[in-house]
A and B are shown apart, each in its own frame.
Chain A
Amino acid sequence: MSMDTRDGGPAREVEHYVDPTPFNPAVTEEMTEEQEQFYQASQWQIMWWKFKRHKIAVWSGVVLILFYLCVPFAEVIAPYGPNTRDSLHLFAPPQSVHLFNEGEFVGPFVYGMTSQIDMETLQWVFTEDTENVQPIRFFCRGASYEFWGLFDADFHLFCPAEGGTLFLIGTDRLGRDQFSGLVYGARLSLTVGLVGVTISIVLGLFFGGIAGYFGGFLDSIIQRMIEIIRSMPELPLWMALSAALPVTWSPVWIYFGLTIILGLLDWPGLARAVRSKLLSLREEEYAKAAVLMGAKPKRVITRHLLPGFTSHIIASATLSIPAMILGETALSFLNLGLRRPAISWGVLLNEAQNISVVTVYPWLMAPVAPIIIVVLAFNFLGDGLRDAADPYK
């Protein structure tokens, strides 16, 4: 605001001034663009923003997506079939990938192996033959397979050189490629948790929903049940239940049996979370309003209460997937779960049960690595989701 003086006279008058910009009475309540976006965003959008800030969780998600790519595309990623035996390469050590041969760049390749039997220890001894350079082929045609059991194909992401071998992490006692085994094993190992968690969510929602919404007698019965199940050591029970699966069942049935067993003992944790959330949410005014307007319990629970804690359920479900993956691994490791020809990481680890074998052929422990990575990733992802689940905090 400038003040002009008309003449140098002593009696100066202040000129009447009007600010031409329109006046907005709500100026103090106005929001920045960022805030406006925040208030207009849906619940899920805010959760996503919050989740994105959790860097480790986001990267864990990426890692998991990469791992889960093995589920649909195992045949393409694995250079060999899961049960293909190479009788010339029993217990072959991992072939390391090189780029330079004698100072010359050849691209990714492996050295061929020559095998000899050591007559004293009766073991195959493999030596790298640096003369024999076997470049890895990419986007190539290799061993044929039936894609998803639907049609024959032989396309692979990468394959060994013609007439060569490519055992990235060695072979087992029957000469089966470990890397291909891991890729195929991911199929069962990674989905067992998802199916199991689905079962556990259904049971947890059902029992937790009843207990939390109706309360009273039903609540105390279900609470008791939960307490008892939680007080039993999981693994011995899993062992007993999976020992009860008929031996005559096909691998597919055993697999579903296992997921049911895993889900059956996991739901109490979820049911508890659902119950406590429901107990607090049903006291909220909007829930009361719905009841007063004559909504039936089913509608109140599913339409009004459930959306309020879906995010929590997802987060805690994510956190219970690793336990299931580990459960399957443990059971298959003990010969109580899946068996060949079905392949999971636990089945592969079964080969490493004997410690004297492992000391001679340490690469049999390879499945340990993906298991730890996946479990860690699920834990981080679950942590991130849990933090994001309550975005208004």
Chain B
Amino acid sequence: MLYYIIRRIFMMVPTLLVISFLTFFIIELPAGDYISNQIAALKSTGEQSSVAKLEFLRKEFSLDRPFFERYLIWIGLWQGPHGFDGLIQGNWGWSFEFDKPVDQVVGPTLPLTIVLNFATILFVYVVSFPIGIYSATRQYSWGDYGFTFIGYIGLATPNFLLALILLYLFNQWFGLSVGGLMAPEYIDQPWSFDKAMSVLAHLIVPTIVIGTSGTAAMIRRLRANLLDELHKQYVTTGRAKGLKENQLLIKYPLRMAINPFIADIGNLIPSMVSGSVIVSVVMSLPTVGPILLSALQSQDQFLSGFILLFVAVLTLIGMLISDLLLAVLDPRIRLGGRASS
């Protein structure tokens, strides 16, 4: 098991490298950079005094170097103006827009981003598991049809629209502001029990909104898998030998069906992280989402680059966890190396 974990973690290193390179490539795609754009703007207004300072800044952030050198400096594998000082050394870069180091800009939002995504995954598991089993064991019942229908709607409604609709309805029915992280009266207040409850209450709606489509997909998945298993002969054998229905279900077909269910969470995580970004923008939650949007719009490259990398790492870690869970559950993977399904 330990061997598997170590191997799995080592496999992440090349992936991370490729992802960091892609990220850097993408954020460098727009013509120019933040500072040279400012220089151009200043030059057009005829102001010369600040240009020298900006030129100095360009050197300082090694924006005048060639592309590959800049990339290596960014991740900390090449000597920049201050020696090896990149992501690996813990320097996340400088945000031009906020005029602060990136870690100070995104720092406060990172815990909430992680909590929100974790809560969503938990929500998806907790909700889809019983419903999936119910739908499979009572196929073609009214409950099954009902859940299938709701699931389809959930799949079809984009989460940011759902957020918009829910915001509107809550506002209309309860006069409640569900946007933001807490009720307005708690902002700038010291932490208290009431404030924590307010934060929790505000987390519920985004969690549901982000998790809905994932839940719908997982229910369909589990239902289909379980139905396949339930029609197999060993189930009939078990029944013929007098096993109780519940015991039979939990002991055999469920254990088979749960495997892809967990493997699939790896596929779902990227879409949930995506969802959390846009839902945060709509509901003005202080996660990395809104910061990413503004950073992209103002071409604040180190900030947007770091956030892109951060969400990618978040999904990688989520996939790692799902793989490890799978290995715990399935000895074939732990020992053999690859899942058969």
Chain B 15-26 near chain A by CB (<8 Å), digits 1 or 0: 100110010001
Given contacts A240-B308, A334-B281, A368-B165, contact A231 B315 (CB under 8 A): yes
Answer whether residue A241 sits at the interface, using C-beta atoms and an 8 A cutoff.
yes
User: Measured between alpha carbons, how far is A241 from B26 in the docked complex, in Å?
Assistant: 6
Given contacts A228-B19, A334-B278, A352-B164, contact A234 B156 (CB under 8 A): no
Please, what's the 1-or-0 string for A226-267, where 1 marks a CB less than 8 Å from any CB in chain B? 011011111111011101101000000000000000000000
A237 engages B26 (CB within 8 Å): yes
- Known contacts A240-B308, A330-B160, A368-B164; A246/B31 CB under 8 A: yes
Bitwise, A330-366 to B at CB < 8 A (1) or not (0) is 1001111000000000000100110100110010010
Q: In the complex, what distance in Å separates the CA atom of A336 from the CA atom of B277?
A: 14
Asked whether A333 lies within 8 Å of B160 as measured between CB atoms, the reply is: yes
Check B292 against A239 for contact (C-beta < 8 Å).
yes
User: With the chains together, A54 CA to B274 CA distance in Å?
Assistant: 33
Pick the contact of A365 from B152, B168, B267, B281 — CB < 8 Å? B168
Any chain B CB within 8 A of the CB of A133? no
Which of A21-29, A178-186, A308-316, A369-377 faces chain B? A369-377
User: Given the complex of chains A and B, what is the CA–CA distance between A246 and B299 in angstroms?
Assistant: 12
Docked pose: A275 CA to B282 CA in angstroms: 38
B109 contacts chain A at the CB level, 8 A cutoff? no
What is the minimal beta-carbon distance from B292 to any residue of chain A, in angstroms?
6
In the assembled complex, the Cα of A306 lies from the Cα of B161 at a distance in Å of 39
B304 is an interface residue with CB less than 8 A from chain A: yes
In the assembled complex, the CB of B148 is this many whole angstroms from the nearest CB of chain A, namely 11
In the bound complex, do residue A235 and residue B275 qualify as a contact, i.e. CB atoms below 8 Å apart?
yes
Taking a contact as CB atoms closer than 8 A, the residue among A232, A241, A376 that contacts B156 in the complex is A376
Q: How far is the CB of A78 from chain B (nearest CB, A)?
A: 23
- Is A322 part of the contact surface with B, judged by Cβ < 8 Å? yes
B172 at the interface (CB under 8 A from A): yes
Interface residues in B, total, Cβ within 8 A:
47
Is B158 within 8 A of A362, CB to CB? no
CB distance from A7 to the nearest CB of B (A): 65
Q: B residues 5-42 with Cβ under 8 Å of A?
A: 15, 18-19, 22, 26-27, 29-31
Contact of A236 among B31, B158, B274 (CB under 8 A): B274
Whether A359 contacts B156 by the Cβ 8 Å rule is no
> B179 touching A244 by the CB < 8 A rule?
no
Docked pose: A372 CA to B160 CA in angstroms: 12
A379 in contact with B156 given A230-B267, A235-B277 (CB within 8 Å): yes
Q: What residues of chain A lie closer than 8 Å to B27, measured between beta carbons? A: 240
In the complex formed, the residue of B with least CB distance to A326 is B158
Contacts of B1 in A (CB 8 A): none
Q: How far is the CA of A188 from the CA of B165 in the complex (A)?
A: 24
Q: Is A329 an interface residue (CB 8 A)?
A: yes
Residue contact A234 to B31, C-beta cutoff 8 Å: no
Shortest Cβ gap from B123 to chain A (Å): 18
- A232 to B273 Cα, complex, angstroms: 9
When chains A and B are docked, how far (Å) is the Cα of A375 from the Cα of B152? 10
Q: Which residue of B lies closest to A358 (CB)?
A: B168
In the complex, whether B297 has a CB less than 8 A from a CB of chain A is yes
For B293, give its contact among A232, A239, A244, A375 (CB under 8 Å): A239
Please give, as numbers and ranges, the residues of chain A lying within 8 Å of B22 by CB-CB distance.
228, 232
**Once bound together, how far apart are the Cα atoms of A227 and B278, in whole Å?**
24
Choice from B160, B267, B273, B296 contacting A243 with Cβ under 8 Å = B296
Could you say which residues of chain B place their CB within 8 Å of the CB of A336?
A: 293, 296-297
Assembled-state Cα–Cα distance A166/B11 (Å): 62
Q: CA of A333 to CA of B281 in the docked complex: distance in angstroms? A: 11
Question: Does B271 interact with chain A (Cβ within 8 Å)?
Answer: yes
A-B contact pairs, 20 of them (CB 8 A): A231-B312, A231-B315, A233-B271, A233-B311, A235-B277, A236-B277, A236-B292, A240-B296, A241-B26, A243-B296, A244-B26, A246-B30, A334-B293, A349-B161, A355-B168, A358-B168, A365-B165, A371-B158, A375-B158, A380-B152
**Footprint of A on B, CB under 8 Å?**
15, 18-19, 22, 26-27, 29-31, 152-153, 155-158, 160-161, 164-165, 167-168, 171-172, 179, 267, 270-271, 273-275, 277-278, 281-282, 292-293, 296-297, 299, 304, 307-308, 311-312, 315-316, 319
Footprint of B on A, CB under 8 Å? 227-228, 230-237, 239-241, 243-244, 246, 322, 326, 329-330, 333-336, 349, 352-353, 355, 358-359, 362, 365, 368, 371-372, 375-376, 379-380
